[in-house]
Structure 1
Amino acid sequence: MDLPATDLPANFCAACAVRNRAICADLDSDELKVLNAIGRRRRLDPGEQLLWEGDEAVLVANVVEGVLKLSNQLADGREQILGLVYPSDFLGRPFGETTPYGVEALTDAMVCVFRRSDFDRFAREHPRLEHKLLERTLAELDRTRRWMLLLGRMSAEQKLASFLLEMSERLAPAGCHDSTESPDQFTLPLSRQQIADVLGLTIETVSRQMTRMKSDGLIELPSRRQIVIRDRAKLAELAE
């Protein structure tokens, strides 16, 4: 399978906004050049599919911009959302034969894609990358366990509080203390309907819970997508 060509600079790894947080963070300049040579950037529109559950594992990818969802199709045709991925997260199954989940862009997104065979070979030849993959795998296992708890055991207000706290942390710009935004002020990349779908709630429940959190002084809602966390400690207490 040929990767789509782009009009990117010759060494896009060097200018990557998430390189210091991505799996390639520990690679030196020579290793980055090799990785750059086997990768391509790809833009995704909201709703565009990157990977399909059960297909041959042809591609792996690293998220550069945007938010994507991981999902499985249940036997009755319903979708089970497994989680969300953010900039610097890794997607796909290295050293695997099939893709374990579907991946769809929820927002405008950019990913760095690699043929799995090329990436597997590179990882075998560079132990630091293999070590980083192991770290990411264990972190993903922890996130999956938290997600199962979120969907299966928490109340609606706990789900939304947990979701807002995670979004604030994952969307915080690098060096946010020097930025006009902070972890307590961010713009949601999802609509309220998308949030409801992700959390297994109705849009009415999401809106009602947000209004209640605003009335209780936990958050402010300058617009439908802007969130300002006013009392992080109480929001965290609510999530627990």
Structure 2
Amino acid sequence: MISNDLLKKYGAEKVHLSKKEVLFKVDTLPRYYFQVISGKIKMNNFNEDGKEFIQGIFSEGSSFGEPPLFADLTYPAYAEAVEESTVWRLEKKKFFELLKENSEVHLSITKVLAGRLHYKATMVAEISSESPEHRLLKLIDYFKTHIHKIPDEEPYLVELSRQQMADLTGLRVETVIRAIKSMEKKRILQLQSHKIVR
């Protein structure tokens, strides 16, 4: 994403987060651009019953939470550390200066945001109408191709937990477990020491 040197040049600070620490909350106004240095950050919501829905999981080099920053809207989700993590935090005004003065960075951010819109549109269609197995395969294939950029012919070790897969697809964790076992029997995927390989 944005290089460390460029972020430092514009005054970005490092923020260290412990596991489950919340970086920002729903309905708060964005004041910073965030980019992961190490660890993992998830953006999530909870329904009235307290069920979590994960909007996305972001790892090293990924930014998150930009749409409300650009649109002067409040955050639609929480940002929470999945594990001990460190992120860059760049003040909004400085972030916009960086973009104005570095057109190639502006273009790369635009491409990332377009990719996320594509993911949302794809997953909304899958979640609303498809079977659990189909939803999970779409999710795994998206992470393999677009997040980790692993060629089709190479095996992909899924780093998501069963709970995270449930929260990303709107399924119950029990349904995810059953669907994974079913797909293993059908040889659609493999299990190696309880890890999914596709």
Cα contact 2:140–2:158 (8 A) shared by 1: no
Percent sequence identity over aligned pairs: 23
2:116 aligns with: 140
CA RMSD between the two structures? 2.9
What secondary structure, in the 3-state scheme, does the structure 2 residue paired with 1:136 have?
helix
* Partner of residue 207 from structure 1, selected from 149, 163, 177: 177
CA gap 1:184/1:218 in 2 versus in 1, 3 angstroms: same
1:56 corresponds, among 22, 26, 29, to 29
| 1:118 corresponding residue in structure 2 | 94
* Uncovered stretches (5+) of structure 2, i.e. residues with no partner: none
Query: Quick one: distance in 2 between partners of 1:107 and 1:187?
Result: 17
Separation in 1, partners of 2:48, 2:158: 35
Structure 1 runs not aligned, ≥5 long: 1-21, 26-31, 230-240
Q: When you count helix as a share of all residues, which structure comes out higher?
A: 2
Task: Name the count of aligned residue pairs.
Answer: 193
The correspondence of residues 82-121 of structure 1 with structure 2, limited to 5 A, is 82-93=55-66, 94-97=69-72, 98-121=74-97
Q: 1:151 to 1:70 in 2, by over 3 A?
A: farther
* Greater relative contact order (Cα < 8 A, sep 6+): 2
Q: Is 1:169 aligned to 2:142, yes or no? A: no
Contact kept in structure 2, 1:184 and 1:228, CA below 8 Å: yes
Q: CA deviation digits over 1:62-89, x for unaligned, max 9?
A: 2344443323455776654333334433
TM-score when scaled to structure 1? 0.67
Q: Is the 8 A contact 1:57 1:96 kept in 2?
A: no
Deviates more, 1:122-131 or 1:207-216: 122-131
Distance 1:33 1:66, change over 3 A: closer
TM-score, L = length of structure 2: 0.79
Q: Deviations over 1:147-179 (max 9, x none)?
A: 21232222111111112222333564x8x79xx
Q: Rg larger in 1 or in 2?
A: 1
